[in-house]
Amino acid sequence: MKFKTSINLVRRALSLLQKQDQRKIYVVLVIQVLTTLMDMFGIALIGLITSVSLYGIQSIELPASIKEILAILQINNLTLQVQIAVLGLSTGLLLISKTIFSAFIQRKILYFLTIKTAVVTADVLEKVLNQPYDFVKTKSSAELLHTLTRGLSSLLTGVIGAAGIIINEIALLATIFVGVFFFDPIITLVSLFYFGLIAFAQGKKIHTVAESSQNTFTREVINSEAQILEAFNLYRELHVRHARKIQLAHIIETRRKMAHHNVNALFLPYIAKYSLEASLVFGSILLMASQFILKDALNALTTLSIFLVAAGRVSPSLLRLQQGLIQFRSSSGESCKTVELLDNLGNQKVLVEGVSPKSLPSRVSGEIVLRDLSFRYQDSERDTLSKINLTIPSGTLFALIGPSGNGKSTIMDILMGALIPRSGIISIDGIPPNQFIASFPGAIGYVAQESVFSNTSIRDNLLLGLEDHLLSDERILSVLEQVGLLEAVRHLPNGVNSSIGERGLMLSTGQKQRLSFARALITEPKVLFLDEPTSSLDSESEKLITDLIKSLRGKATIVVIAHRLETIESADQVAYVENGQIVKIGTYREVISP
């Protein structure tokens, strides 16, 4: 990954945080960089201890520079043993304090970023949910789940956290090398070249492998999660085909690929660790030999002690730097889908929510008007709908019919504000659908062709975003009776508080569709959208739902997509949709007549 690309990725990650949170990160980073001076002072004290010890053991008078330092520290009048003890204790306290403080700060940063990840996840999820439906459905459930969880976590805690480690360790290494430069410039430059060469040789290969492995690992994770979800969703089909082993084989193969690339990514830090340890031992041997060849024993021991202590600080720092770089590359690979999603979100229109128009209708009637409306799905080369004109009077039953794939569901999604038309006007009671929803919460109800429920109680599924206190027990029982579910619910162990299982598995198909109707009716809507509400029902449930629809005429504007004759023939108006246009509109008899 190029340096400029890495900087842009860090900026992209930081842009997800609020300005005050960004400032906190910058302040902590500056504090971390300043604490590296403690290492330089610690190494200098080690050099001082070595010099004082060697001069004292040989009963040689200390150089004037060392005497001056001892005087500044106010220990010049103490005995040799006490001087060394004071210096040693001070050095130990200084270096240990720095290590403890660094660990404390690093933990605080990780905790801070983890908490902020939860906040940012909610923000990004809100942006995704505010997108038109045609954008959302271009992403698989597994991809969205991974992008909004592990991907965002990698972008924040991984990329920002690793960037902080990299900057801190580079500052520490620079401080140490600057400090020891004053003791022996030549050896410092040689050591810098030596360790730099090792780091470059390791980094070029390891970091490329890290990013590549993580990219592939992320792709295989998404594929694996999608296959597992499919196995549960297609349980019956796999059972009757006796195809579970084949599906399992696909899952196992994907998981095997995923594990292979994950092992590669996990082992990379160990490669850096072992090669660095070997390089440090080899370098120390060369340094020791050169010092005793080129210098007298006193200077050689002093320089050697300083560089060994410095190497003791440099070695773990280099290791942390390598691990930080590997983490940065790995996190970059894992967050690539998240960055792609964030970039796409920035280029998308958003649904207008929470914005009320300046003037509202005096009462909610539910009249719907479409004028010259056209719509085109993303990445499509032609319009799905073209020049649609409709007026649906309030309180009427309006049916959309026609061949599958010709635009009926698209019209309904636009009426509900889930899709944004390319051109034209759409209004409910004179205002756009999303502004109508924001101004009159609960005034619109929707029943899908396939009911979707959460693994909670009947009551919670009826609430679906409503505050609990807004839904009385009397209202719940009333609407359950209205859809013919009251008797069945009363026989459940906990009544309306009984769990219905994941995706409503504890209910029959007819019961699920009735519960879906109950959820739509719980707020007493003035506009009701029904997408093939009786397509998969038994005759008893179909009759109950059909009678219910008829009973709501006049109380709500009902727009229904249906093929069942009984629903269509009782409609006030029927529109025949073909090739994205309304080719006929009128009563059922008028529309079906040649």
User: How many other CB atoms sit within 10 Å of the CB of residue 102?
Assistant: 18
What is the total count of domains within the chain?
Answer: 2
Based on the domain organization, do 314 and 376 belong to the same domain? Answer: no
Contacts of 306 (CB under 8 A, 6+ apart): 43, 46, 47, 50, 180, 183, 184
450 and 335 in one domain? no
Tell me the range of 177-191, 220-234, 423-437 where mean pLDDT is highest. Answer: 423-437
Select from 465, 458, 421, 424 the least CA-distant residue to 444: 465
pLDDT digits (tens, 9 = 90+) for 495-510: 888 888 777 778 888 8
Q: Which of 296, 289, 267 is nearest to 58 (CA)?
A: 296
Q: 30 and 128: one domain?
A: yes
Q: At residue 306, does pLDDT exceed 70?
A: no
Residue 561: domain span? 368-592
Q: What is residue 577's three-state secondary structure?
A: strand
For the record, the structure tokens of 104 come out as 């404390």
Question: Among 120-129, 227-236, 272-281, 377-386, where is mean pLDDT lowest?
Answer: 272-281
**Residue 558 clears pLDDT 90, i.e. is over it:** yes
The residue-averaged pLDDT of 394-409 equals 90
* Chain segment 130-141, per-residue pLDDT in tens: 788 877 777 777
Reply yes or no on whether the pLDDT at 214 is more than 80: no
Three-state SS at 370: strand
Residue 427 and residue 303 share a domain:
no
Nearest to 35 by CA among 165, 164, 192, 168: 168
In the chain, % of residues over pLDDT 90: 9
* Mean model confidence pLDDT for the chain: 79
Residues 84 and 220 in one domain: yes
Dist. CA 129–CA 499, nearest whole Å:
26
Rounded to whole angstroms, the Cα distance separating 534 from 514 reads: 10
For residue 557, pLDDT over 90 is answered with yes
Burial label for 363, CB within 10 Å (0-12, 13-18, 19+), is exposed
| Whether residues 302 and 435 fall in one domain | no
User: Last residue of a domain, which of 315, 346, 377?
Assistant: 346
Give the H or E element holding residue 529: strand 527-531
- The region that residue 449 occupies, defined by phi over 0 for left and psi between -120 and 50 for alpha, beta otherwise, is alpha
Tell me the per-residue pLDDT of 84-96, one tens digit each, with 9 for 90 and over: 888 888 888 888 8
CB-CB contact of 431 with 439 (8 Å): yes
- Between the CA of residue 558 and those of 115, 157, 399, 505, 588, what are the distances in Å? 45, 49, 8, 29, 16
The candidate with the shortest Cα–Cα distance to 210, out of 318, 317, 333, 322, is 333
Convert the pLDDT of each residue in 186-212 to its tens digit.
766 776 677 667 666 666 666 566 666
Q: Are 559 and 524 part of one and the same domain?
A: yes
Which has the closest alpha carbon to 329: 205, 217, 207? 207
Percent of the chain with pLDDT over 70: 79
Q: What is the CATH number of the domain that holds 104?
A: 1.20.1560.10
Q: How many CB atoms are closer than 10 A to CB 276? A: 21
Q: What is the mean pLDDT of residues 30-38?
A: 86
**328-373: pLDDT as tens digits:** 877 887 788 888 888 887 665 555 544 455 555 657 888 999 999 9
List pLDDT tens digits, range 543-556: 888 888 888 888 89
Stretch (H or E) spanning 446? strand 444-447
Of 31-45, 271-285, 397-411, the one with minimum mean pLDDT is: 271-285
- If pLDDT is split at 50, 70 and 90, which confidence band does 532 have? confident
- What is the pLDDT, as a whole number, of residue 505? 77
Domain-embedded: residue 361: no
Pair 115, 229 in one domain: yes
Amino acid at 79: T
Answer yes or no: is 351 within a domain. Answer: no
CA 412 to chain centre: 31
Looking at residue 65, its pLDDT comes to 77
Where do we find the tokens 């040649």? 594
What is the pLDDT confidence band of residue 392, given thresholds at 50, 70 and 90? very high
Say if residue 168 is in the same domain as residue 56: yes
Assigned domain for 209 exists? yes
The H-assigned helical ranges of 350-422 are 408-415
The answer to whether residue 20 is domain-embedded is yes
- The two beta strands, 527-531 and 368-375, are unpaired
321 and 263 share one domain = yes
Whether residue 537 is contained in a domain is answered as yes
Phi, psi of 387, deg, nearest 5: 50, 55
Residue 323 lies in a domain: yes
434 and 303 within one domain: no
527 has pLDDT over 90: yes
CA distance 587 to 527: 20
Instruction: State residue 557 phi and psi, 5-degree precision.
Output: -80, 125
Q: What is the arithmetic mean of pLDDT over 35-40?
A: 81
Q: Give the mean pLDDT of 374-397.
A: 89
Which pLDDT score, from 0 to 100, does residue 288 have?
62
SS3 string, 457-514, reads EHHHHHHCCCCHHHCCHHHHHHHHHHCCCHHHHHCCCCHHHCECCHHHCCCCHHHHHH
pLDDT value, residue 415: 92
Cα distances (Å, whole numbers) of residue 37 to 58, 108, 155, 171, 519: 32, 21, 30, 9, 64
Asked if the structure places residue 421 within a domain, the reply is yes
Q: What is the pLDDT of residue 346?
A: 66
Residue 55 contacts residue 62 (beta carbons within 8 Å): yes
Alpha-carbon distances of 411 from 48, 349, 417, 575, rounded to whole Å: 82, 18, 10, 11
Question: 478 and 573 share a domain?
Answer: yes
Question: pLDDT tens digits, residue range 458-481?
Answer: 888 888 877 777 778 888 889 989
Sign (positive/negative) of CA torsion 236, 237, 241, 246?
negative
User: Does 362 reside within a domain?
Assistant: no
119-123, 197-201, 256-260: least confident range: 197-201
DSSP bridge pairs for 425: 371
Quick one: CA dihedral 503, 507, 510, 511, positive or negative?
negative
CATH number at residue 477: 3.40.50.300
Alpha-carbon distance of 306 to 354, in angstroms, equals 66
